[in-house]
Structure 1
Amino acid sequence: MKDVFARLGSDLFSAIVFLVVYLATDNVILATSVAIAGAIAQVIHARIKGQQLNYMTYASLALVVGLGGITLLTNDPRFMMAKPSIAHFAIGAIMLKRGWMLRYMPPIVVETVPEYVTAAGYAWAALMFVIGVGMILVASTGDLKLWAFYLTVVAGGAKILAFAVQYVVLRLIVTSRRRAAARA
């Protein structure tokens, strides 16, 4: 679980930096510049530490630099605010791969209810798309406080709630099937 939150924090680092600097200074140019510099520094730091970087890391960097550049040219924060939604769409697309979630499940779940894990994987993909659409709609308002609330409370809370529901449901189904198998 700790790895999941660390990865999420890493993926949203530039958005968080942008938000913090913008809220502290009310300066779009400064916030965007610091977010771009932070994203570049994050990749350089990972390379120096010898960490394996995947294409999503480079895609995220390209989005920050590209959307940040547009934000700098237009002085409009909505472009930077759209970056997390694009990331959610990309993650959702990856989650459409059948069975992607099986490798993250304990063996007892994989052996007992693989079809439910596959269904849960598709549900996670749908959640990522819904969050992405919501984030674009919120970003289009240009209301940074509403966007910050959506990014942290709504999107973050939806993922935590989905994880909890998935855990409870899979646990109940596995327990039920194991009991039925023991009786048989």
Structure 2
Amino acid sequence: MKTLLYAIGPMLFDSLGVLVFAVLLVVGAGIVPATIAGTVVALGVVGYELARGKKVAALQWISLASVLFTAAATLFTGDPRFVMAKPTIVYLIVGSVMLRKGWLNRYIPPEQLAIVGDVMDRFGMIWAALMFTSAALNLVIALFFTAWWPLFIGIFPLASKFGLFAIHIAVVHVITQARLRRRASGLQPAAAE
């Protein structure tokens, strides 16, 4: 439970602009208000981190850049397809960033990293695969099932991420406990091979 609480905060914070955008779309606020609100929140997240003197995570910069680009394109053209295509582009970029070893390290307490760092790296690849799958699904829905897109974007990205997040946390917890028991009994070194 401690690991879950430690990880969920940064995950929600990193995605706050996108979450606001998706929720507003689902409740029927419209593309323009949802885009403006998502932009303001994404700017606020990055501004808050900078004001605190913290390093802004790569996912936060990506989210902000994509929100600003698609918001400008949508507001200048009045064409919501820019916003509909944005998640595909974002998922492809984020998936590519997630291929980098160690990107999940900020989501786990340092004392656990020495125990399950290898598991975190494997889950990094699984998260990247989810992003690439989400990119493909978003493009298909946006192009061929446009009327369903607001419902899709409001449910699938959050549901799939929270589902994988729950699995990820559970697996890491089980493996951590097993490795700690083995280490205590002298059967395994600090980290698995």
Task: Please say whether Structure 1 and Structure 2 have the same fold, judged by a TM-score greater than 0.5.
Answer: yes
CA RMSD, 1 decimal: 3.5
**What's the offset of the Cα at 1:101?**
5.3
Q: Does residue 63 of structure 2 align to residue 57 of structure 1? A: no
Secondary structure at 1:97's aligned position in 2? coil
Amino acid at match of 2:163: G
| Separation of aligned partners in 2, 1:108 and 1:12 | 24
Task: Give the conservation status (yes or no) of the 8 Å contact 1:28–1:75.
Answer: no
The structure-2 alpha-carbon separation of the partners of 1:139 and 1:100, relative to structure 1 and needing over 3 Å to count, comes to: same
Structure 1: segments with no counterpart, 5+ residues: none
Matches within 5 A, 1:1-184: 1-98=4-101, 104=108, 110=114, 118-140=121-143, 141-142=145-146, 143-169=149-175, 171-172=177-178, 175=181, 181=187
TM-score (norm: length of structure 2)? 0.67
Per the normalisation by structure 1, the TM-score is: 0.70
Which 4+ runs in 1 deviate beyond 6 A? none
Percent of matched pairs sharing the same residue: 25
Any unmatched runs of 5+ in structure 2? 189-193
CA 1:96–1:71 in structure 2 vs 1: closer, same or farther (change >3 Å)? Answer: same
Letter in 1 for 2:156: Y
Shift of 1:164: 1.9
State how far apart, in whole Å, the 2-side matches of 1:167 and 1:45 are: 31
Name whichever of 66-75 and 144-153 sits farther off.
Answer: 66-75
Give the counterpart letter for 2:162 in structure 1. G
Alpha carbons 2:123, 2:168 under 8 Å: kept: no
Compute the displacement of 1:108 (Å): 7.4
SS of the residue aligned with 2:56? coil
* Residues 1:161 and 1:82: Cα distance change in structure 2 (over 3 Å): farther
**Cα distance, 1:109 vs structure 2:** 7.5
SS of residue paired to 2:187? helix
Instruction: Assess, with a 3 A threshold, how the Cα gap between structure 1 residues 114 and 47 changes in structure 2: closer, same or farther.
Output: closer
Instruction: Note closer, same or farther for the CA distance 1:99–1:149 as it changes in structure 2 (3 Å cut).
Output: closer
What SS class does the counterpart of residue 68 from structure 1 fall into?
Answer: helix
Cα-to-partner distance string for 1:115-153 (whole Å, 9 max, x where unaligned): 555444433433333344334444443321122110222
